[in-house]
């Protein structure tokens, strides 16, 4: 069985409070985009994880695909050992949620393969135990999210008039560090309302709290965002805690910007 976990971008992000459990409350709009990994699971086999493509940092035993398998196996001992292969294409530590997508797709794949009959709400609960971004990928549709990101309201948000440019300059931002740079506060404007306003005005009203500290640490990112606006982007923002920057351009009119050869660049028309 093979699935293709996709990435997400955040359109607006506000850190609204620090919680007793050490996490932060936030509000954001998650939007899925078709830049994907490939995740294959074969049975029968011994429990094994291999990967190709972009190297995943850390011990293979800590990979979110294996963690998703072990999480379900605790409650469903009938899960047979599986051979897992991940081809990594989504940049890592980029604010694109690639690891979270792999974990959420793994839960769904195992649910189907072993006929566990888990409901969407049960899958969301399991996903929340693997990471704050994971529950989104169970729904995988435009959502306004609060809490740690697990309280989701699907939105009707049609961005089919736009093409998306994603630029990742290879800077890996540590999510925990990024949260520690921010003093939580109530947002000046309600994101849930602003996201329904015309995209042409988003530049003035939709912002990401992580941009100030992350751009201060990596000025190259502010330059990427400026280059997108100079190239005709209708809206540009860093995604999540970075470091990927995303630009919305009129459909099929992504500017031909000359990026540094080391950057990873993705176009979604
Ligand atoms: C910032 C966001 C926005 O969508 O995305 P990314 O930039 O990572 O893609 C998410 O909130 C990230 O979610 P995720 O990447 O799953 O984070 P987790 O693994 O749960 O947490 C990593 C660390 O970030 C901090 N953290 C995370 C989420 C949250 N609501 N409050 C936090 O304080 C904690 O220090 C935690 O130990
Ligand atoms: N399957 C996976 N893909 C990517 N990263 C993974 C995976 N499993 C574990 N990780 C760990 O999760 C961290 C964050 O990954 P990722 O989800 O890509 O970043 P972000 O939260 O910025 O979107 C990485 O540093 C990596 O060590």
What CATH number is associated with residue 71? 3.30.230.10
Ligand 1 proximity of 12 Cβ (cutoff 6 Å): no
Predicted confidence (pLDDT) per residue in 164-189, tens digit? 999 999 999 999 999 999 999 988 88
Same-domain pairing of 116 and 175: no
Domain boundaries, position 198? 162-268
Give the residue among 190, 183, 167 at the shortest CA–CA distance from 238. 167
Same-domain pairing of 131 and 251: no
ipTM: 0.95
Question: Does the annotation list 97 as a binding residue?
Answer: yes
Stated as kind and residue range, the H or E segment containing 120 is helix 120-128
Ligand 1 proximity of 23 Cβ (cutoff 6 Å): yes
Q: Which of 119, 137, 154 is the last residue of a domain?
A: 154
Same-domain pairing of 89 and 142: yes
Same-domain pairing of 150 and 183: no
Give SS3 for 66. helix
Give the residue among 162, 153, 218, 213 at the shortest CA–CA distance from 183. 213
Q: What is the per-residue pLDDT for 31? A: 98
Low-confidence ranges of the chain (pLDDT < 70): none
Tell me: cis bond preceding 106? Omega within 30 of 0 counts: no
Strand partners, 144: 29, 153
Same-domain pairing of 242 and 116: no
What CATH number is associated with residue 193? 3.30.70.890
Identify which of 10, 33, 92 to mutate to test ligand 2's pocket (most ligand atoms within 8 A of the CB). Answer: 92
Give the residue among 143, 232, 244, 238 at the shortest CA–CA distance from 191. 143
Same-domain pairing of 116 and 93: yes
Predicted confidence (pLDDT) per residue in 189-227, tens digit? 889 999 999 999 999 999 999 999 999 999 999 999 999
Same-domain pairing of 46 and 68: yes
Sheet (strand 245-250) strand order? 235-238, 245-250, 162-168, 264-268
Give SS3 for 202. helix
Stated as kind and residue range, the H or E segment containing 154 is strand 151-154
Catalytic status, residue 8: yes
């Amino acid at each position: 069985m093979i699935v293709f976990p996709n990435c997400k971008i955040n359109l607006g992000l506000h850190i609204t409070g620090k919680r007793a459990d050490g996490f932060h409350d936030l509000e954001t709009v998650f939007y899925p985009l078709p830049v994907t990994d490939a995740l294959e699971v074969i049975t029968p086999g011994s429990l094994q994880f291999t990967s190709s493509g972009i190297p995943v940092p850390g011990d293979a035993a800590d990979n979110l695909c294996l963690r998703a398998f072990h999480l379900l196996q605790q409650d469903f001992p009938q899960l047979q050992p599986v051979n897992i292969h991940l081809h990594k294409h989504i940049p890592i530590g980029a604010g694109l949620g690639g690891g979270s997508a792999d974990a959420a797709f793994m839960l769904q794949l195992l649910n189907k393969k072993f006929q566990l009959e888990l409901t969407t709400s049960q899958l969301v609960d399991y996903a929340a135990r693997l990471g704050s971004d994971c529950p989104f990928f169970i729904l995988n549709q435009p959502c306004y999210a609060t809490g740690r990101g697990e309280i989701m309201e699907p939105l009707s948000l049609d961005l089919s008039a736009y093409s998306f440019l994603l630029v990742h300059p290879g800077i890996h931002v540590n999510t925990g560090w990024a949260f520690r740079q921010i003093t939580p506060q109530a947002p000046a404007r309600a994101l849930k309302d602003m996201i329904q306003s015309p995209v042409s005005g988003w530049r003035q009203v939709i912002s990401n709290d992580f941009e100030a500290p992350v751009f201060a640490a990596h000025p190259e990112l502010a330059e990427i965002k400026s280059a997108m606006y100079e190239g005709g982007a209708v809206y540009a923002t860093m995604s999540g805690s970075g470091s990927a920057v995303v630009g919305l351009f009129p459909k099929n009119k992504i500017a031909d910007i000359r990026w540094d050869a080391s950057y990873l660049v993705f176009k979604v028309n």
